[in-house]
């Protein structure tokens, strides 16, 4: 795949993840109006934190794509992709810790059971929203890996090998007529 197209796919994948997280944020914010729960508030804050870090990852991916658009600057692309990779790694860690941990999922279920039908429906839709984020997260991770592969291939293809050989030259002057 062409270098620029690979980076474009990364941006699309990160946008899909953003959309899924945005939908999760709406779901979490749509909790029953009576008696707020600390868990719901914490999940809402966590989604905002993850989305903020994802924004930084998207910015890095955008800068990396710019570095391979017209005139390819692999060093600039590599540096921008490194920023994207770092932020994406944080997004993945935050998502796992805040949404996929057994304790949080168990607490979400407990809250739904303890507070009645409305909260149980909210907890179920929140779990579904969390699960809906998993596929875009995995796809973005794969796209990021493909970007690194493309950079490595292009870096190897543009390498120049220089080999010098020493070919001696012997200069002999002609004897002059006066000798």
Residue 73 lies in a domain: yes
Q: What is the mean pLDDT of each run of 10 residues along the chain (179 residues)?
A: 88 98 95 80 94 98 92 92 97 94 90 89 94 97 95 73 59 65
In a domain, 176, yes or no: no
CATH number, domain of 142, equals: 1.20.120
Number of domains in the chain: 1
Q: Note down the domain range covering 41.
A: 3-155
CA–CA dist 41, 165 (Å, integer) = 71
175 assigned to some structural domain: no
Is 52 a domain residue?
A: yes
**pLDDT score of 1:** 55
- Specify if 16 maps to a domain: yes
pLDDT at 173: 65
The answer to whether residue 37 is domain-embedded is: yes
49, 94 in Cβ contact below 8 A?
yes
State residue 10's pLDDT score. Answer: 96
Residue 110 in domain: yes
Residue written as token pair 């690194």: 148
């Amino acid at each position: 795949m062409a270098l620029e197209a690979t980076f474009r796919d990364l941006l699309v994948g990160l946008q899909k993840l953003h959309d899924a997280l945005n939908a999760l944020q709406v779901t979490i914010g749509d909790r029953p109006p009576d008696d707020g729960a600390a868990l719901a508030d914490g999940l809402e804050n966590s989604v905002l934190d993850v989305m903020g870090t994802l924004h930084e990852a998207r910015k890095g991916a955008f800068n990396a794509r710019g570095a391979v658009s017209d005139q390819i600057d692999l060093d600039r692309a590599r540096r921008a992709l490194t920023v994207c990779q770092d932020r994406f790694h944080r997004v993945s860690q935050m998502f796992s810790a805040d949404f996929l941990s057994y304790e949080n999922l168990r607490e979400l279920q407990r809250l739904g059971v303890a507070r009645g039908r409305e909260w149980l429906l909210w907890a179920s839709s929140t779990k579904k929203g969390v699960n809906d984020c998993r596929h875009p997260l995995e796809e973005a991770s794969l796209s990021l890996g493909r970007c690194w592969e493309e950079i490595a291939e292009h870096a190897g293809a543009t390498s120049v090998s220089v080999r010098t050989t020493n070919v001696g030259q012997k200069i002999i002057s002609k004897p002059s007529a006066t000798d």
